[in-house]
Amino acid sequence: MAIILPLNVPPSPQVIEQAVTCIQAGGVLAIPTDSFYALAVGVFQPTALERLLAIKGHRDHKPFPVLMADPSQLDQLIDEVPEIAKKLIQEFWPGLLTLVFKTKPHMSPMLMSEQGTIGLRQPNDPRVCQLLKKTGPLTGTSANRTGHLPAQSAEEVIQQVGSEIDLILDGGPTPGGQPSTVLQVEPSLRIIRQGAISRQAIQKILGNMLVSD
């Protein structure tokens, strides 16, 4: 059964250290985000990614989204940031907008689409961003088995996957609501999933550029 540690404001250095140790050892931890709890593993750890896939269950080759501390971590995952993406990042990060970019070729296929793209987001939770600064980018897939409702509390994480993960950072209940909007930046601008950030809000930043569904 997973160990549960409190994720306070500000987070305890000891808790952050234990979480970092867990990630570095190839562990799977659950963290609160600005929507639901997420299952986090190191994106450069193939064995941990395999564990995560086994926990989540069948996903029809759906890649895992990735959380970052801030835009400075982008260069670990992609080669360049298009100018339009910079505008979107400035407006909507941290927050509930996942941007889909062409990724570096060495990334795990569990993080990439068949088109070689990866979904990236900076969560609007300073506690989690502080952790991400120490660990580097982590997966941000919802803390549930595929086909089940995403967990909004540490208790719900325990009920669904508590026996298969290593650590839960209990930050209290999460807001739930709509998940992040997923916007493909490359090779063309396209809303893949409508979520918390409206099409109208995105179109306002893009000006006359068409966002096709």
Q: Write down the domain spans for the chain.
A: 3-206
* DSSP class per residue in 130-167: HHHHHH--EE-EESS-TTSPPP-SHHHHHHHHTTT-SE
Q: Amino acid identity of 75?
A: D
pTM, rounded to two decimals: 0.95
Stronger pLDDT, 62 or 101, i.e. the higher one = 101
What is the identity of the amino acid at 163? S
Nearest CA to 134 out of 2, 28, 46, 13 is that of: 13
Query: What pLDDT, on a 0 to 100 scale, did the predictor assign at position 141?
Result: 97
pLDDT at 199 over 80: yes
pLDDT of residue 90: 97
Q: What is the pLDDT of residues 42-96, one digit of tens each?
A: 999 999 999 999 999 877 788 999 999 999 999 999 999 999 999 999 999 999 9
Any idea which residue has 């299952």 for tokens?
39
pLDDT at 187: 84
Q: Residue 129 has what pLDDT?
A: 98
What is the pLDDT, as a whole number, of residue 144?
96
What pLDDT, on the 0 to 100 scale, is given for residue 209?
A: 74
Write down the pLDDT at residue 60: 78
Tokens of residue 32, six digits? 């609160």
Per CATH, is 3-206 categorized as 3.30.300.30? no
> What is d(CA 86, CA 108) in angstroms, rounded to the nearest whole number?
25
pLDDT band at 210 (very low <50, low <70, confident <90, very high): low
Query: Which tokens is 71 given?
Result: 């835009």
State the pLDDT at residue 81: 96
